[in-house]
Amino acid sequence: MNGRVGIIGIGYTAAQPTTPYSSFKELMFEAAQRAYFDAGIDAAEVESFVTCAEDLNTGLSIFDEYTPDQLGAVQKPMHTLTQDGLHGIADAVMQIKSGLVEVVAVEAHSKASNILTPDWILDYAVDPIFNRPLGFNPHALAGLEMNLFLHETGITPQQVSQVAAKNRTNALRNPLAAYPARLTADDTAAGPYAHYPLRETEMAQTADGCVVVVLASDDKARAAASQPLWVRGIGFANDSPTLESRDWVHAEYTRIAAQMAYRMAGITNPAREIDFFEVDDTYAYKELQHLIALGLYPNRPGEAGRALEQGLTRPDGKTPVNVSGGCLGLGWTLEASGLYRIVELVLQLRGQAGPRQLPGAKMGLAQSWRGVPTTSGAVAILSSEQKPWE
C-alpha cells in the first residue's frame, strides 16, 4: 500500500439563507446519499466517519451522539471535531495513510438560521475574564485586525470593497450560492460601517447547508465510479490566540498550514504551480490576508491589493480566487465552509463546474479559518493528477 489518498465522492445541498423544510438530520442524509452515490459505493462500504461541528452552533451538547443514523455510521468508528471541515479532511487523510481504514466519509453542515442569538454564541468564544466584560460585539475583533492589516500592508479600503464585489458577482455563476449579487466596488464601499474600518457589505452572511466528502486509499480510489481527485497536500496550524499580544497583521496559522501542505505536495512556487484558490473570506480583507499567508505575494504584501485591482484574481485572471463566490457570495456555512471549498475544487478539477468552469484547471488549493476570535487554519491541495514520483 502506498500513501496516496483520493477524494472519490462529494454530496452537498445548496447553501440557503434558511432551510425550514429539513431538519439537520435530513440535510445530512441528503448530502450523504448524494456523496455515496457519486462515489459509487454503499454506505456499508464506508469504514470510518468524521463530522465537524461545534456544540454551541448546533445547540446540542456532545453533538457526535446525534450523527451516526443519518450517515450510515451506526456501529462504525466515528467522531466529531470541533473544527472547520478541512480539519476533517486532514483527519481522514491521516486515518487512511496510517492504514487503519480505506474509506472515510467527512461531514459538516450549518443550520446557522436556527441560531437566534449568533453574536452571543460568538461572545461565548471570547475570554470571560479579560474580554467579555468589556461588552463590545465580538465581530469588532475583525475591525481591530483589519485596521492594523491595512495600516501595515498599504492595502486600501477600496481594495477590500472590491473583494466583496468580486465574490458576490462570482456567486452569480454558482447555483449553490445563497447571496449572489452583481455589485461593483462602489456599491460595496457605500455600505455602512459595522466595525470601522469593516463595512457591513464586507462581512459574510450565514447560510445553511451540508457537505459530505468521501475519501479513499489509492486502490479504492482507482476503482471508484467517479474520477478521483488526489489529496496532494494537507496542513493545519494555530497561532497564539491571545488578543492582547497576537499577530494582527499576518495570518501565521495559514502560512504554517500552507508550508506543511506545500512540503507534502512538493510545491515551491504556489502562484505558478496551483491553478486556482478557494480561501476564507468571512470578512473581505481576510481573502487578501490569507493569500499573502499562502505565499502568493512573497515580495510585498501590498501586491495582493494591486493584483486584485488588475483583475488577476478574477475567474478570467491568472490566479482565480473564490470562483465559487466564497463565503461572501455562497454564504458562511460555519464548519461546512471548508467542505464547500472542497466541493468547488472537485467540480473544477473534474470539469463539472458549468458556467464558471476554469479551463485546464489541474490543481487547486482550499484554505480555511475558524473565524473570530480564533487563529486556527487549515489548507488542502487537490489535483486531478497523482504526484509522479509517489
The binding site for another protein (CB under 8 A) comprises 19-26, 29, 40-45, 56, 59, 68-70, 72, 74-76, 111, 113-117, 120-121, 124, 128-129, 132-133, 223-226
Angle between helices 252-265 and 284-293 (to 10 degrees): 50
Among candidate residues 227, 233, 325, the one with its CA nearest the CA of residue 274? 233
Among candidate residues 281, 293, 342, 364, the one with its CA nearest the CA of residue 93? 342
Contact 148, 248 (CB under 8 A): yes
Nearer CB in complex with another protein: 68/317: 68
Q: How far is the CB of 117 from another protein (least distance, A)?
A: 5
Q: What is the per-residue DSSP string for 289-320?
A: HHHHHTTSSSS-TTHHHHHHHTTTTSTTSSS-
Nearer CB in complex with another protein: 131/319: 131
Beta bridge partners of 376: 238
Q: How far is the CB of 116 from another protein (least distance, A)?
A: 4
Q: How far is the CB of 225 from another protein (least distance, A)?
A: 5
C-alpha cell of residue 306: 494591486
162 contact partners, CB below 8 Å, separation of at least 6: 185, 188, 308, 309
Q: How far is the CB of 110 from another protein (least distance, A)?
A: 12
Cα–Cα distance, 146 to 196 (Å, whole number): 9
Nearer CB in complex with another protein: 9/157: 9
Q: How far is the CB of 18 from another protein (least distance, A)?
A: 8
Q: How far is the CB of 178 from another protein (least distance, A)?
A: 16
Distances (CA, A) of 231 to 7, 225, 228, 280: 7, 18, 10, 19
Nearer CB in complex with another protein: 26/187: 26
Nearer CB in complex with another protein: 90/221: 221
Nearer CB in complex with another protein: 113/374: 113
